[in-house]
Amino acid sequence: MSLVERDLKVIWHPYTQMKTALPPIPIVKGEGACLFDGEGKKYIDAVSSWWVNIHGHSHPYIAQKVAEQLSKLEHVIFAGFTHEGAVELAERLLAILPGNQQKAFYSDNGSTAVEVAVKMCLQYWYNQGKSRTKILALKNAYHGDTFGAMAVSGRSAFTTPFDSMLFEVEFIDLPTIDNIENLKSQISNLKSQLACFIFEPLIQGSGGMLMYEAEYLNELMLHCHNEGVLLIADEVFTGFGRTGKPFACDHVTEQPDIMCFSKGLTGGTMALGLTTCTQQIFDAFLSDDRLKTLFHGHSFTANPIACSAALASLDLFLDPSTSANLKRIEAAHQQFALKVKHHPKLKTIRQTGTILAMEWQTGTDTSYFSSLRDKLYQYFLDAGIILRPLGNVIYILPPYCITNEELNYIYSKIEHALEEI
């Protein structure tokens, strides 16, 4: 029995429950920006394997550090104990995050990092005897698939079976020059009820790579703070260079109270979540009253192996060559965007940092389930490129090690698709 046949007998893959779904592709090796299947076919991983891989697959430096850690300590309970990797990672990350971030709380993926942040905000007010229980979020947001993360995400086909069980959230439009004053008025009207405002800074990834300007985000953040509303920046996707700067919040001057990280945190090696916060947030839980404790923890919180991968990834991220690669990819995207921006099949083209998104003209068929999606996905797979469209939106989000030749090959195949599909 082949690997695929064995897989189909026992594994429930995400997003592939339709009877017409194609069988999974067995991947046996990764190197640089590429993956290789069992028959030796090469695929350029142009979406960084769901946005997590930032330095390339099977990076030897990360592999070395993980192997070294495995021979020393694989795991230890993180309640009443600690270890060097967790402390060093927190110290090094806090040193490059906005200066108000003072404490780090570990979990094990992006959704749980968001769950922790939301619970921090709600209990922050509870611990002070104040009833501020409403949460403000952006329409079309995506913050994860666990219940709390779903609740603060935009309502869609993905949440419909659970909508009646999700807690109430106030959703607002992305801030623009045309609506910023109205949004601020909405917040002022709700301020005594709002616990926090959670947002994906600059780019809503799963919403379709929707991009908005730092100027108006900053104005909205400042207004929230003026009204006493806490701010959660979900940098699970945007963190670690995706927007051209180390973190998306580096594009604004007002800073969040809480930040969430995962995906690129370990360079795509393994799962790890992190939620950072200000001293003010932490102090609201510091008490002799045990009932003010943040009762949240995971069996694999601050796993030493994951921390070693994250530390190795951070070494690579802070190397000057990575900064040069970010600029190189951004410049290449900009040049290609100019080349195809007036193509009649493209509705819009959006670009921020290393992220390039192209929205295809499909009339009214613009949802995540657009019929164009499967055609494009298979077209690029046949060409040896992993581009996973969000409905009618094709996006390129590569590992930073991708070569100019690989980028140019992707661009050329997109041009061919524009003519052939």
Catalytic residue among 9, 15, 288, 289: 15
**Which residue type occupies 111?**
S
Query: What domains lie within the chain, and their CATH numbers?
Result: 3-58+320-420 (3.90.1150.10), 64-317 (3.40.640.10)
Instruction: For residue range 271-298, list pLDDT tens digits in order.
Output: 999 999 999 999 999 988 888 889 999 9
Structure tokens at 78: 């993180």
* pLDDT at residue 365, as a whole number: 66
Instruction: For residue range 247-260, list pLDDT tens digits in order.
Output: 999 999 999 999 99
Which DSSP helix (H) or strand (E) runs through 234?
strand 230-234
pLDDT at 363 over 80: no
DSSP class per residue in 407-420: HHHHHHHHHHHHHH
Higher pLDDT, 201 or 291: 201
Catalytic residue among 263, 395, 411, 413: 263
Instruction: Return the minimum-mean-pLDDT range out of 2-11, 34-43, 94-103.
Output: 2-11
Q: What are phi and psi of 210, to 5 degrees?
A: -80, 130
pLDDT mean over 82-92? 97
* pLDDT at residue 18, as a whole number: 65
Catalytic residue among 142, 395, 400, 411: 142
* pLDDT at residue 19, as a whole number: 65
Instruction: For residue range 14-30, list pLDDT tens digits in order.
Output: 877 666 677 889 999 99
Which of 269, 267, 262, 291 has the alpha carbon at shortest distance from 107? 262
Structure tokens at 362: 């499909």
Instruction: For residue range 305-359, list pLDDT tens digits in order.
Output: 999 999 999 999 999 999 999 999 999 999 999 999 999 999 999 999 999 999 9
* pLDDT at residue 245, as a whole number: 97
Structure tokens at 104: 């780090």
Q: Which residues of 177-191 are buried (b: 16+ CB within 10 A; e: fewer)?
A: eeebeebbeebeebb
355 neighbors 318 (Cβ within 8 angstroms): no
272 neighbors 310 (Cβ within 8 angstroms): yes
Whether residue 61 lies in the annotated active site: no
Percent of the chain with pLDDT over 90: 87
C-alpha dist (Å) from residue 15 to 10, 139, 159, 371: 16, 22, 13, 15
Catalytic residue among 234, 257, 395, 413: 234
Whether residue 377 lies in the annotated active site: no
Whether residue 15 lies in the annotated active site: yes
Instruction: For residue range 209-246, list pLDDT tens digits in order.
Output: 999 999 999 999 999 999 999 999 999 999 999 999 99
DSSP class per residue in 79-118: SS---HHHHHHHHHHHHHS-TT--EEEEESSHHHHHHHHH
Q: Distance between CA 109 and CA 90 in Å, rounded?
A: 16
Whether residue 234 lies in the annotated active site: yes
Percent of the chain with pLDDT over 70: 98
